C-alpha cells in the first residue's frame, strides 16, 4: 500500500514509526514530516492546511490511504477533498470535525443527544456573556469557540477575572476563533482522555491516557499543548471505561451518523471522572499529542488494517487489536521559553543514539542544518517515550534516556506520571 501521512509533530513521527512497521506499507510519504521521519519514509514540503496540494499529492503517489494528524488539515477540508477523489482518509470531514473545531457546535450536539457534559451557554456579545455569569458559580470556565492551539480556555476564580477574560476573547485575542465564547459549569474530578477508532457507524476503543498540560513541575505555569503523557491511566477503571463507552463514545458516533455527518477517524474524548460518572470536557477530532506517542508504543499488533478499515467505513470484520501489557510514558523536551517564546536554533546532540528496545525518541519541532546538525525549530521539540512493567520503571527509563541527550537549550518536567506513581505507591502501602 502507498500511505500518505499528514503532519509534522511528535504525534506524526509516532504514527509514521508504527505505520512503517506494517507489512502492508510499501511506501510511506510524510507531508511535511520532520527530520525524525526521514528514515521511515519520503518527505514532501506541503503545509497541513494545503488541502488542495495534499489531495493532489495523494493522487500523484496513488495513495491507498491518507492518515491525517493535525486538526488544522481537517478544518481545511482535506477529508472532504479526498472523499471527492475516492481516496480513503483516516480523519473526519470538516463538518464532522466540528466536534473539535467549534466548541459551540460540540456543546449543542452533546445537549441535543443528552450526552453527559457541563452545563453551558454560548454568547457573541460581551454584555450577554457577563450577565450570564450570575447563573454560574465560581470558578468560571470561559472558552473561545474555535481552534486556539489549546490556549483558548480560561478558568477564572472570580467575576472580575471572568469579565476580563470575556473582554479579551471577544476583543480579538484569538481572532475569528474568539468571535463567540462558551461559558461552562466547572466540573470537579480527575481528567483523562479516551481514544476510539471510528468508521462512521462503529467505534472501537483504543484505550485511555493522561497528559500534563501545564509547563512546569507540580502542574504549575502556563497551559501548553502537553508536556508529557502516559497510558494506561489508572483513572480509567474498567467501570469508568464501560460507562464512557456506553454513555459517551457510542452515542456520539451513532448521533453523528444519524445527523448526516458520519465520523471517521479517531475520536479523542477528554473526560472528567466526576462523582456522577464520566462527563465530556471536550472532543478532539484527531489523536492527542503526546497521547498518540504512548498509544502507538502500547499497540502490539498492526495498526494499518484498522486505519484503512476506518477510512473505508467498516471495522466490523477485524480481530481485536493487541496491546503490550506494559505502561508507556512520554516526556516532552521543549525549547526554553516555551510556550510563550521558544528559543529556536539551539543544537541537540545524542537524540539518535540507540536507547534500547524499550525507549523511542520521537521528533516534533526539530530541523537539520545544512551541516547535518540537529537543532530546535519549535516549542515542543523531542518526545522521549519508554515502556516499563509499571509507571515507575517506565519513568526511570525515560529520564535515564533524557540524561543521555545533550541539549542545553531545552527543558522538561521531572514529574510526568505523578498521579499514577502516587496511586501505585498508595496501593502498595
CA 385 to chain centre: 16
CA 269, CA 255: separation in Å to the nearest integer? 15
Please state, as a whole number, how many other Cβ atoms lie within 10 Å of the Cβ of residue 172: 11
Task: Report what 226 binds from ligand AMP, ligand GLY, none; CB cut-off 5-8 Å by kind.
Answer: ligand GLY
Shortest Cβ distance from residue 392 to ligand GLY (Å)? 23
Sign of the CA dihedral with 193 first, then 199, 200, and 204 last: negative
DSSP-based three-state secondary structure for 354: coil
Q: According to CB under 6 A, which residues from 392 to 421 bind ligand AMP? A: none
Number of residues located near ligand AMP, criterion CB under 6 A: 12
Pairing of strands 140-144, 228-231: unpaired
Where does this chain touch ligand AMP (CB under 6 A) — which range of 14-22, 179-187, 230-238, 404-412?
179-187
Q: Least separation, in Å, of the C-beta of 230 and ligand GLY?
A: 12
Q: What's phi and psi for 113, nearest 5 deg?
A: -105, 15
Of 64 and 282, nearer to ligand GLY (C-beta) is 282
Nearer to ligand GLY, 93 or 284 (CB): 284
Strand partners, 263: 200
Contacts of 105 (CB under 8 A, 6+ apart): 98, 99
Residue from 121, 270, 305, 313 touching ligand AMP (CB under 6 A): that is: 270
Question: How far, rounded to the nearest angstrom, does the alpha carbon of residue 403 sit from its chain's CA centroid?
Answer: 26
103-132: which residues touch ligand AMP (CB under 6 A)? 118
Interface characters, 270-289, with ligand GLY (x: CB under 6 A): --------------x---xx
Nearer to ligand GLY, 291 or 358 (CB): 291
For ligand GLY, the closer CB: 288 or 339: 288
Report the site for ligand AMP in 272-311 (rule: CB under 6 A). Answer: 281-282
Tell me the pairing of strands 203-211 and 89-90.
unpaired
Q: Does 92 bind ligand GLY (CB under 6 A)?
A: no
Position among 36, 208, 226, 365 found at the interface with ligand GLY (CB under 6 A): 226
Q: Residue 89: which of ligand AMP, ligand GLY, none does it interact with, CB under 5 to 8 A by kind?
A: none
Which of the choices ligand AMP, ligand GLY, none does residue 191 contact, using the CB cut-off of 5 to 8 A by kind? Answer: ligand AMP
Binding string to ligand GLY for residues 23 to 52, with x set by CB under 6 A, is what? Answer: ------------------------------
Q: How many residues bind ligand GLY (CB under 6 A)?
A: 8
For the chain, the C-alpha Rg in angstroms (whole number) is: 21
Nearby residues of 398 by Cβ (< 8 Å), 6 or more positions away? 329, 330, 331, 359, 384, 385, 386, 416
Distances (CA, A) of 165 to 77, 129, 154, 182: 31, 11, 7, 11
Residue 184 interface partner, choices ligand AMP, ligand GLY, none, CB cut-off 5-8 Å depending on type: ligand AMP
Query: Is residue 92 a contact partner of residue 263, using CB atoms and an 8 Å limit?
Result: yes
In the complex, minimum distance from the CB of residue 336 to ligand AMP, in angstroms, rounded to a whole number: 24
Q: What does 25 bind: ligand GLY, ligand AMP, none (CB cut-off 5 to 8 Å by kind)?
A: none
In the bound complex, what is the minimum distance in angstroms from residue 283's beta carbon to ligand AMP? Answer: 9
* Residue 288 binding target from ligand AMP, ligand GLY, none, CB below 5 to 8 Å by type: ligand GLY
Residues 185-214 that bind ligand GLY (CB under 6 A): 211
Task: Check residue 291 for interaction with ligand GLY (CB under 6 A).
Answer: yes
Interaction of residue 215 with ligand AMP, rule CB under 6 A = no
Burial 5-30 (b: 16+ CB within 10 A, else e): bbbbbbbbbbbbbbbbebeebeebbb
Map 111-123 to HEC letters.
HHCCCCECCEEEE
| Contacts with 374 (C-beta within 8 Å, 6 or more apart), sequence order | 35, 347, 348, 349, 351, 352, 366, 367, 368
For residues 281 and 118, what is the distance between their CA atoms, to the nearest angstrom? 7
In angstroms, the Cα distances linking 243 to 116, 160, 250, 251 are 11, 37, 10, 11
Candidates 32, 128, 159, 186; binder of ligand AMP (CB under 6 A) is 186
Contacts to ligand AMP by CB under 6 A: 118, 141, 143, 153, 184, 186-187, 191, 213, 270, 281-282
Contacts to ligand GLY by CB under 6 A: 150, 211, 225-226, 284, 288-289, 291
Amino acid at each position: 500500500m502507498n500511505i500518505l501521512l499528514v503532519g509534522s509533530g511528535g504525534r506524526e513521527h509516532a504514527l509514521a514509526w508504527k505505520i512503517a512497521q506494517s507489512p502492508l506499507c510499501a511506501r510511506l510519504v510524510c507531508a511535511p514530516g520532520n527530520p525524525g521521519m526521514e528514515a521511515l519514509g519520503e518527505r514532501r514540503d506541503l503545509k497541513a492546511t494545503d488541502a488542495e496540494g495534499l489531495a493532489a499529492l495523494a493522487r500523484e503517489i496513488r495513495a491507498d490511504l491518507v492518515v491525517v494528524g493535525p486538526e488544522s488539515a481537517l478544518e481545511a477540508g482535506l477529508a472532504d477533498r479526498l472523499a471527492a477523489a475516492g481516496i480513503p482518509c483516516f480523519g473526519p470531514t470538516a463538518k464532522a470535525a466540528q466536534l473539535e473545531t467549534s466548541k459551540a457546535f460540540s456543546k449543542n450536539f452533546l445537549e441535543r443527544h443528552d450526552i453527559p457534559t457541563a452545563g453551558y451557554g454560548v454568547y457573541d456579545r460581551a454584555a450577554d456573556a457577563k450577565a450570564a455569569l450570575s447563573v454560574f458559580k465560581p470558578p468560571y470556565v470561559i472558552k473561545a469557540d474555535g481552534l486556539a492551539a489549546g490556549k483558548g480556555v480560561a478558568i477564572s476564580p472570580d467575576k472580575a477575572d471572568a469579565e476580563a477574560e470575556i473582554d479579551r476573547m471577544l476583543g480579538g485575542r484569538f481572532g475569528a476563533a474568539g468571535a463567540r465564547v462558551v461559558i461552562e459549569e466547572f466540573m470537579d474530578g480527575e481528567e483523562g482522555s479516551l481514544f476510539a477508532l471510528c468508521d462512521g457507524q462503529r467505534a472501537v476503543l483504543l484505550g485511555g491516557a493522561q497528559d500534563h498540560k501545564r509547563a512546569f513541575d507540580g502542574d504549575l505555569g502556563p497551559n501548553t499543548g502537553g508536556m508529557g503523557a502516559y497510558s494506561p491511566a489508572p483513572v480509567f477503571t474498567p467501570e469508568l471505561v464501560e460507562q464512557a463507552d456506553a454513555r459517551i463514545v457510542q452515542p456520539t458516533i451513532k448521533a453523528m451518523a444519524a445527523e448526516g455527518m458520519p465520523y471517521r477517524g479517531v475520536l479523542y474524548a477528554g473526560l472528567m471522572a466526576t462523582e456522577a460518572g464520566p462527563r465530556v470536557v471536550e472532543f478532539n477530532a484527531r489523536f492527542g499529542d503526546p497521547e498518540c506517542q504512548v498509544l502507538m508504543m502500547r499497540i502490539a499488533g498492526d495498526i494499518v488494517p484498522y486505519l484503512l478499515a476506518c477510512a473505508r467505513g467498516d471495522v466490523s470484520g477485524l480481530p481485536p487489536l493487541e496491546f503490550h501489557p506494559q505502561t508507556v510514558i512520554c516526556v516532552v523536551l521543549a525549547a526554553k521559553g516555551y510556550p510563550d517564546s521558544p528559543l529556536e536554533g539551539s543544537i541537540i546532540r545524542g537524540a539518535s543514539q540507540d536507547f534500547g528496545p524499550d525507549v523511542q525518541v520521537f521528533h516534533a519541532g526539530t530541523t537539520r542544518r545544512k551541516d547535518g546538525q540537529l537543532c530546535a525549530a519549535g516549542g515542543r521539540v523531542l518526545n522521549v517515550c519508554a515502556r516499563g512493567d509499571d509507571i515507575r520503571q517506565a519513568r526511570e527509563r525515560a529520564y535515564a534516556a533524557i540524561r543521555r541527550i545533550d541539549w542545553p537549550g531545552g527543558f522538561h518536567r521531572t514529574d510526568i506520571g505523578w498521579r499514577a506513581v502516587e496511586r501505585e505507591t498508595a496501593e502498595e502501602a
